[in-house]
Amino acid sequence: MLSTSSIPARMLQKSYKAIIEGVKMKKRAVILTTNDKPQVALVSLEDLEQLKRAKAQQAALEMLKLAADNREDLKKLPADLRGKANEILYSKKTYG
């Protein structure tokens, strides 16, 4: 699990070099707060890459589940639409 600590955003203004160095060296995320409410987090680049990979993997799993759940409905589509659906679902192209 990602280790975190919280600091007021004003502290970042005063001590940004030490805070950034701490995030990089200790691999500990820092949550910046204003009025005691969390606003954003500072994470190391390594942790950011791990978060990106985890998010991409989750999105892929959700897409596979969606395709599996709707496989029978897709089979009922007319041939031209079924071909387009297969192209979208199974090609390596990224649609967005």
What is the DSSP annotation of 41-89?
EE--HHHHHHHHHHHHHHHHHHHHHHHHHTHHHHHTS-HHHHHHHHHHH
Which of the 8 DSSP states describes residue 28? -
The phi, psi pair for 42, rounded to 5°, reads -105, 125
Grouping H, G, I as helix, E, B as strand and the rest as coil, residue 4 is strand
- According to the model, what pLDDT value does residue 40 have? 96
pTM above 0.85, yes or no: no
Q: Which two tokens stand for residue 17?
A: 């070099």
Tell me the pLDDT of the chain (96 aa) as tens digits.
578 899 999 999 999 999 999 999 998 999 999 999 999 999 999 999 999 999 999 998 888 888 888 877 777 777 777 777 777 777 755 544
- According to the model, what pLDDT value does residue 1 have? 57
CA distance 62 to 75: 20
The phi, psi pair for 70, rounded to 5°, reads -110, 15
